[in-house]
Amino acid sequence: MTAIRFPQRPRGPRIHIIPSEPSVSSHKVEQRRLSHRGREFHFVSYDAQIANERRGVEAVPPMWYLMNEGKRRPVLPHVPGQALVELDDALLRWVDEQVFGTKAPALQRQRK
Cross-sheet strand order for the sheet of 71-77: 71-77, 63-68, 39-46, 31-36, 110-111
- The CA distance from 48 to 98, in Å, is 23
Binned at pLDDT 50, 70 and 90, residue 29 comes out as confident
For residue 5, being part of any structural domain is answered with: no
Q: Which residue range forms the structural domain that includes residue 80?
A: 31-103
For residue 92, being part of any structural domain is answered with: yes
Binned at pLDDT 50, 70 and 90, residue 4 comes out as confident
Q: Are 91 and 64 in contact (CB under 8 A)?
A: yes
Q: How many domains does the chain have?
A: 1
Helix (H, G, I), strand (E, B) or coil at 85: helix
Task: Give the pLDDT confidence score for residue 1 in this predicted structure.
Answer: 63
